[in-house]
């Protein structure tokens, strides 16, 4: 198992630790703060609650987390070393000197800096080609963007290795090819921040009104489409050119005060802080973090359904995780056909819970439905086959809820083929948490022609695969509850 070292265990360092740890890496932490273990533990609690909810497949088992008294001990043998110490260049240089004195020469040293350029970080370093900016966004365990900023000192190989590592964590490495103060994204945020300060100072809007203008308006649009695509759509059928012609002259109008920054004095600080406290001071910070995380998970899961933006990235990551977890996609890959086939593995996400604090009944149906889709794919009824005009429609489903599934619990669905003759497919699925049976799902599906929308005979490949699996599994005892009607005594 690969190892990452986190130097500096604050909010950002803790987020990095969680991202690596929950993706199966061993993580070592160095931070002289005596409270670092507690602080990172609290960040991890939030990450364990939210990150698995972004995935529709089983995530790796957590790696080990250890805390170390020296940088030398923490970096020995590490593949990736992430520096997240305070934004003081002299301190960073001292940290790099200590890291490079003890780390492997082929380890990557990434910096979470939001302002320093990589050439500044590399100054005086014995091996500058190891060091680059890997700037994340908070919370690191959820937000996918990493601004990867190298210099000419960094070889093409180490840049490619860094990109591969970041992608392997389910994140998006944005290669910033020309170093610039504050990189890319923070420059946008700084511009909005400066304008917001003036709006508050001039009495145009309160902090709450400004936040509402973002989260109820352009923030949602930007979250899923970015800046230029949003403006392109605003141009209508004529596209970006029309938008530029229409709104370009506005750049000369006094719409913003971005070139003029208000004096950052105590009066302005008190004004901003007071309004912000009134806006959300009644909510504890950890609760605010959970609200933020839940909202981000819900938005990103919605984007997954559209295979768009960050959602498309996570779908790609799910395919990778599924392969690494050994999930089969073809009948020929099944080692033992006589046993139930694992058709689903995942953690219970926060948006699957109901008011009782356990998995909503509709999500049992969703989990079994996704398991059925996986079985269809295994026997040959995949997207390519469906495109030819054949598929299965569900005719009947019976679900028994036997035990509770709770937030973050890892569930596994195991499926049997009871009958696969002719146009009908009769299957039985069981959902487990470990060896605890949570629910059973019995389904009858009918093969149909998508052209006529009527029952039809499946392909020879599907028929043969279903028959092969059903015959192999016929040696198993009949499932407890099969054929049971609603209300029948247990």
- The alpha-helical segments, DSSP class H, found in 380-410 are 383-387
3 state DSSP class of 373: helix
The CA distance from 364 to 430, in Å, is: 11
Annotated binding-site residue? 210: no
Q: Round to whole Å and give the CA distance between 132 and 110.
A: 5
What DSSP designation does 218 have? I
3-state secondary structure at position 449: strand
Residue 226 marked in a binding site: no
Q: Token pair 């779908």 is at which residue?
A: 315
E strand intervals along 198-355: 341-347
If you write DSSP's letter for every residue of 177-195 in order, what string do you get?
A: -S--TTTTHHHHHHHHHHH
Is 8 marked as binding a ligand? yes
The helix/strand/coil state of 240 is helix
Cα 445 to Cα 392, 421, 424, 440: the distances in Å are: 6, 11, 6, 16
Measured in degrees and rounded to the nearest 5, phi and psi for residue 324 equal -65, -30
CB environment 359-396: b (16+ within 10 A), e (fewer) = bbeebbeebbbbbbebbbbbbbbeeebeeeebbbeeee
Give CA–CA dist 85/9, Å, rounded.
Answer: 8
Q: Is 10 annotated as a binding residue?
A: yes
Q: What Å distances lie between residue 397 and 197, 330, 442, 453, 477, CA to CA? A: 57, 24, 6, 20, 21
Report the alpha-carbon distance of residue 47 to residue 53 in Å, rounded. 10
**Which residues are known binding-site members?**
8-13
Which residues contribute to the annotated binding site for NAD(+)? 8-13
């Amino acid at each position: 198992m690969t190892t990452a070292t986190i130097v500096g265990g604050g909010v950002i360092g803790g987020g990095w630790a969680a991202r690596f740890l929950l993706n199966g890496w061993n993580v070592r932490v160095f931070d002289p703060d005596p409270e670092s273990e507690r602080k990172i533990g609290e960040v991890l609690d939030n990450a364990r609650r939210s990150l698995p909810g972004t995935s529709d497949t089983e995530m790796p088992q957590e790696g080990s987390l250890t805390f170390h008294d020296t940088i030398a001990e923490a970096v020995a043998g590490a593949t990736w070393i992430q520096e997240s110490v305070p934004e003081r260049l002299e301190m960073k240089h001292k940290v790099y000197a200590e890291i490079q004195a003890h780390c492997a020469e082929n380890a990557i040293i990434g910096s979470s800096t939001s302002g320093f350029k990589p050439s500044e970080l590399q100054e005086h370093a014995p091996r500058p080609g190891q060091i680059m900016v890997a700037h994340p966004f908070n919370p690191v365990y959820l937000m996918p963007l990493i601004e990867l900023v190298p210099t000419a000192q960094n070889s093409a190989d180490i840049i490619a290795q860094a990109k591969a590592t970041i992608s392997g964590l389910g994140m998006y490495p944005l290669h910033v090819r020309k170093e610039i103060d504050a990189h890319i994204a923070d420059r946008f945020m700084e511009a909005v921040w400066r304008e917001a300060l003036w709006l508050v100072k001039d009495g145009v809007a309160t902090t709450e009104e400004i936040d509402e203008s973002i989260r109820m308006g352009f923030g949602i649009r930007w979250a899923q489409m970015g800046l230029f695509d949003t403006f392109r759509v605003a141009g209508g059928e004529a596209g970006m050119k029309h938008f530029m012609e229409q709104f370009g002259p506005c750049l000369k109008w006094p719409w913003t005060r971005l070139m003029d920054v208000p004096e950052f004095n105590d009066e302005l600080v008190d004004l901003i802080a007071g309004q912000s406290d009134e806006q959300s001071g009644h909510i504890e910070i950890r609760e605010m973090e959970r609200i933020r995380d839940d909202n981000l998970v819900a938005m990103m899961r919605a984007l997954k359904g559209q295979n768009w933006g960050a959602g498309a990235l996570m779908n790609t990551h799910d395919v990778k995780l599924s392969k690494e977890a050994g999930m089969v996609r073809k009948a020929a890959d099944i080692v033992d056909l006589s046993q139930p086939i694992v058709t689903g593995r995942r953690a219970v996400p926060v948006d699957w819970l109901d008011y009782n604090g356990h998995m909503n009944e509709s999500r049992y149906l969703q989990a079994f439905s996704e398991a059925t889709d996986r079985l269809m794919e295994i026997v040959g009824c995949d997207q390519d086959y469906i495109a030819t005009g054949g598929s299965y429609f569900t005719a009947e489903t019976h679900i028994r809820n036997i035990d509770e599934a709770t937030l973050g619990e890892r569930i596994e669905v195991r499926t049997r083929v009871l009958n696969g003759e002719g146009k009908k497919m009769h299957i039985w699925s069981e959902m487990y948490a470990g060896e605890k049976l949570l629910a059973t799902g019995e389904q009858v599906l009918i093969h149909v022609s998508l052209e006529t929308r009527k029952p039809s005979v499946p392909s020879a490949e599907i028929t043969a695969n279903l028959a092969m699996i059903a015959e192999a599994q016929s040696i198993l005892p009949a499932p407890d509850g099969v054929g049971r009607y609603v209300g029948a005594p247990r």
